[in-house]
Amino acid sequence: MIWIRRFYGQRVAALVSVVLAVSCSDPDQRARAGAQATGAQTTAREADHVLQIETKAVHTNRLINETSPYLLQHAHNPVDWYPWGPEAFEKARDEDKPIFLSVGYSSCHWCHVMERESFENEEIAEIMNEHFVSIKVDREERPDVDEIYMTAVTRMTGSGGWPMSVFLTPELKPFYGGTYFPPEDSFGRPGFKSLLVRLAEMWEKERAKINEFADGLTDHLAGVLSGLAQGANTLTTDILSDAARDLGTNFDATYGGFGGAPKFPPSSSIALFLREYQRTGDEHTLRMATLTLDRMAQGGMYDHLGGGFARYSTDSQWLVPHFEKMLYDNAQLAQVYLEAYQLTKNPMYRRVAEETFEYILRDMRDERGGFHSAEDADSEGEEGKFYIWTRDEITEHLGEEDAKIFAAYYNVKKGGNFQSREKYHRNLNILHTPRSEEQVAENLKLTVDALREKMAELKRTMLDVRSKRVRPSLDDKVLTSWNALMISAFAQGYRILGDERYRDAAVEASTFIVTDMKRDGKLLRTHRKGESRLPAYQHDYAYMIVALTEVYEATFDSAWLREADALAKTMIDEFWDAGDPGFYFTSRDHKNLLVRTKPSQDSAVPSGNSMAAYGLLRLAKFLDNRDYYEKGRLLLETNHRLLSDYPQAVPRMLGAADFLLYPPKEIALVGTDGSEDVQALLDAVYGAFVPNKIVAFLDPSSDSAASDEKDMPLLANKTLIGDKATAYVCKDFACKLPVTTPEELLQQLGVS
């Protein structure tokens, strides 16, 4: 509102005195709104892990022809929904109606609430159909639309979240917005029905005021989202230590993480702290990383029975999660737990990574090899019902004695630690482990080994019990960028932990994407049930470039580097802005957008420019491609102001800067593929925490040896020493003396 008053005065600002409504991203506001959301329940769509669409024979709208699970959830609403596209825009222009744009995603709890309360309400739907053209968008399919209009909502209201509710002119210019609205007026706040009526009246009687505001806001958005560069400045290593220090000022020394509730998993910031500690040995930096990792894994945000993490914690102690599980969170967390395991050798970090991978392989894998997007927070109309327990339930399934052990381990109380918002059930417990195994074992008069053996048995039993419950809804679409994050995680998991299933999962998902989700040399964004569609965004390309270099290191099949090279060329052709260096989020194939954005700031996932910088720098080292290196460097130097002044907004880009400023170890291994001496050298490389490195492999006896040397100059003229597997540690292709033992290799890597 401050921005609006500054540019348009009080009179126009009154137009957008939007109720600061609740959103999926603000659990405190959601809790306060719980009293308003009476009767708010999602319909059951949980059977067989796949979203089942509730059939209402009377109503079917245009969303029935879409593939997005979120859009299909609304295909039987009485609202005359349109997907984002020319048909809806033409109708709005021809009938001179404003557009109501509703943006959400399938695992968003309050999206379900607003559907139940308003979009399934015949009276409200009638108003919408008479006075508006209503468009429904899955933010995960169309992040470009979401980015533009979420920026508009936050400028108008000071906050944002999902469901996002925005009103547009037929020219797609926003003039009013918010998030969740209750159906009726309550507590002095307007309900959705009265809001629709008022805006319809204003559209008829105060069009000039609406157009004035919409034009001004659109001009403002163009300036904010165009990502104009500030000019390139040379980066120095000080920018990394300064960023670590700045990020640490908000550290919670008791529970880990940063700031208060709600707390989101800060994967990229933890990765920065691990790198800073490796260079400086600063114990406080390491503690910020490890305390956060410990508390997240001990808290209720972690699924102690099934593995994997929920989206975020609604409190500062990591106890009460928002129960939805997102693929991208688990991919990023698995990677940072793997790195922490490399650095500290803490077995808990290894276990958490392994259990997270087990969750993905068991519950989130598509039959074609990709990975599904998310699991809902709700089941049977209640948030978290799938995951929570009463003490009596545990006793029923385990018996009194084993239940006592289980309850002690997971701090289960008779009175519970969680209260369901929807039905206000009590005595419910979120499993968590605030005490160490040593403390629990001592209290139970058991040895630690005996406790671990017993708990493994009890966990299997209770996981089996839980598997018979109605599961949360599954968003089974496959998104290119999120899959790329998980591919990277599995490839790293194989290299560090040695489980071949992880390598196979990474290869199978990569193969699926570059075959089934690619058309005419260009990536597609989304796939579901045999259909791939929508042009990919820049971050889809950037994430896949990184992922394919990781898959190369897991397989040493140079075909993956050639595929990454092809994607890099396409990304540059389709998205690079040579006049103002950086990558646009959208290509020329993306139509009907107010602004062509160029985002560098990270969100729940890294920005496309952050990952492009890292991917191009990494690929440049493999292929000795100077153009890729210069574009990666220029990208970072163009964003120097963000990196230096707002490190909390760009932790992943700081990771790319780390790769630039502390050039990677270039490791060439030569030997017989699959031999014990080669594996010993690989175990040394990947058993140590050497975050900035690339590893290339040459088997002189293989059919691909000549092409591998041609593709990767790092491998040229590398030979065996005394018929033993040999390692060359290089920098800018100038190599140290070759070595043949793991000990010598670790010494050259500086981690002996």
For residue 259, give both structure tokens.
Answer: 């700031």
Beta strand pairing call for 693-698 and 378-379: unpaired
Mean pLDDT, residues 335-348: 98
pLDDT confidence band for 648 (50 / 70 / 90): very high
The predicted pLDDT at position 389 comes to 97
Question: What burial class does residue 577 get, using C-beta atoms within 10 Å of its C-beta: 0-12 exposed, 13-18 middle, 19+ buried?
Answer: middle
**Mean of per-residue pLDDT scores for the chain:** 90
Identify the H or E element spanning 166. strand 164-168
* Higher per-residue pLDDT: 641 or 18: 641
Topology (CATH) of 230-248+477-662: Glycosyltransferase (1.50.10)
The predicted pLDDT at position 151 comes to 92
The predicted pLDDT at position 579 comes to 84
pLDDT in tens, 547-570: 999 999 999 999 999 999 999 999
Mean pLDDT, residues 648-660: 96
Specify whether the CB–CB gap between 51 and 73 falls below 8 A: yes
The predicted pLDDT at position 37 comes to 32
Lowest pLDDT segment from 404-408, 413-417, 514-518: 413-417
Of 204, 199, 122, which Cα lies nearest the Cα of 166? 199
* Higher per-residue pLDDT: 32 or 433: 433
Write down the domain spans for the chain: 2-225, 230-248+477-662, 387-468, 665-749
- Of the chain, the percentage scoring pLDDT greater than 90 comes to 83
pLDDT confidence band for 181 (50 / 70 / 90): very high
Specify whether the CB–CB gap between 356 and 330 falls below 8 A: yes
pTM of the model: 0.90
- Of the chain, the percentage scoring pLDDT greater than 70 comes to 90
| Separation of alpha carbons 610 and 628, rounded Å | 14
Same fold, 2-225 and 230-248+477-662: no
The predicted pLDDT at position 222 comes to 86
Mean pLDDT, residues 267-287: 97
Architecture per CATH, 2-225: 3-Layer(aba) Sandwich (3.40)
pLDDT in tens, 450-464: 999 999 999 999 999
Of 340, 352, 364, 344, which Cα lies nearest the Cα of 299? 352
DSSP string, 242-297: HHHHHHHTTB-TTT-SBSSSSB---HHHHHHHHHHHHHH--HHHHHHHHHHHHHHH
pLDDT confidence band for 731 (50 / 70 / 90): confident
pLDDT confidence band for 107 (50 / 70 / 90): confident
The predicted pLDDT at position 425 comes to 64
- For helices 448-467 and 437-444, what crossing angle results, to 10°? 100
pLDDT over 60 at 607, yes or no: yes
pLDDT in tens, 211-220: 999 999 999 9
Find all residues with CB under 8 Å of 372, minimum gap 6, and list them.
327, 364, 365, 366, 474, 475, 476, 477, 478
Task: Tell whether domain 665-749 is in CATH 3.20.20.70.
Answer: no
pLDDT confidence band for 470 (50 / 70 / 90): very high
The predicted pLDDT at position 19 comes to 33
pLDDT over 70 at 370, yes or no: yes
pLDDT over 70 at 255, yes or no: yes
Q: Distance between alpha carbon 461 and the CA centroid of its chain, in Å?
A: 31
For residue 37, give both structure tokens.
Answer: 């959301």
For residue 338, give both structure tokens.
Answer: 């793997």
The predicted pLDDT at position 16 comes to 46
The predicted pLDDT at position 46 comes to 35
